[in-house]
Amino acid sequence: MYKAADNRYEQIAYRRCGKSGIQLPEISLGLWHNFGGVDVFENYRAILRTAFDKGITHFDLANNYGPPYGSAEENFGLLMKKDFMPYRDELIISSKAGYDMWPGPYGEWGSRKYLIASCNQSLKRMGLDYVDIFYSHRPDPNTPMEETMGALDSLVRQGKALYVGISNYDADQTKEALSILKSLGTPCLIHQPKYSMLVRDPEEGLLDVLGESGVGCIPFSPLAQGLLTNKYLKGIPQNSRAAKSTGFLQEDQVDTQTISKVQELNILAERRGQSLAQMAIAWLLKDARVTTVLIGASKVEQLLDSLKAVDNKHFDASELAEIEKILAQ
């Protein structure tokens, strides 16, 4: 029988999520990869147990995480039953809907039909009465924002979600969504954008909107699909995501210019006494508007390595200037 570490809340710092009553650990664990039906049960069980023992209280899922679709939620539900149900009230569990999940016109995007059906399915797969956060995973250009936000509001009023969030919305879309949710009486808790040293889009207005509105921010892909690790310092290794070109990182993204930047960033990380991955995570945490950074892990050792990022979150002005100079090349 799993018993969580007694000192788990002494392992990591927590940050207020916007102006809400929720605090999240500075690092959260995403189950996008490595927790699906094709993965090894004892491996991802050990990752989740270690994460909670280290103070990670936030586990982030979506309806189609796997593969196959839904299997990450099913596996998480099994582990909830076996290990974590006694700790349910200590956990923040999130899920999302917006991307492709089932065939036909009601199996993706942002209709009320899809979002509510998907949330019901997610709760069933995980064996939960409610999720703590339910997200609209992406904006829908063909559905009125009022319908999508109204569905999120309904899920809270039905007791199926405690809070709502949005993901992949740009600054203008976020403004509109926040305004609608506020008018409905279900304010947005958090926004999940793609953000890293190599992907800076949130700095073009989104972070300002979130800061001014009191909404939390949880960047995903902080390591740019592995580019901000030591994996690509010498080019594209065999069996990597880029070599396979089967995921979101394609071979043409790992060009000579990018590798040169990554190599220079790695030199700076070494001077700071960190790995490149640790520095990339710490760099996001330097901004007070960032509540928590969403990481993935394929094994326990990788999780523990990422957690060391919080040991050195301070950057002096010269280091920040050097990072900007490297990235501007």
Question: What's the CATH code of the domain at 216?
Answer: 3.20.20.100
**258: in domain:** no
Per-residue pLDDT 10s for the chain (329 aa) are 999 999 999 999 999 999 999 999 999 999 999 999 999 999 999 999 999 999 999 999 999 999 999 999 999 999 999 999 999 999 999 999 999 999 999 999 999 999 999 999 999 999 999 999 999 999 999 999 999 999 999 999 999 999 999 999 999 999 999 999 999 999 999 999 999 999 999 999 999 999 999 999 999 999 999 999 998 887 666 665 555 555 555 566 678 999 999 999 999 999 999 999 999 999 999 999 999 999 999 999 999 999 999 999 999 999 999 999 999 99
Number of domains in the chain: 1
Residue 23's closest CA among 183, 190, 160, 154?
190
**184: in domain:** yes
C-alpha span between 1 and 101 (Å, rounded) = 34
The single-letter code of the amino acid at 162 is: L
pLDDT at residue 251 in the model: 62
**252: in domain:** no
63, 275, 300 from 231: Cα distances, Å: 29, 11, 18
**233: in domain:** no
**308: in domain:** yes
Residue 148 lies in domain: 8-226+275-314
**54: in domain:** yes
**231: in domain:** no
How many C-beta neighbours within 10 Å does residue 181 have?
A: 23
Helix (H, G, I), strand (E, B) or coil at 23: strand
**51: in domain:** yes
pLDDT at residue 234 in the model: 79
Going by C-beta distance under 8 Å and a sequence separation of 6 or more, which residues neighbour residue 286? Answer: 313, 314, 315, 320
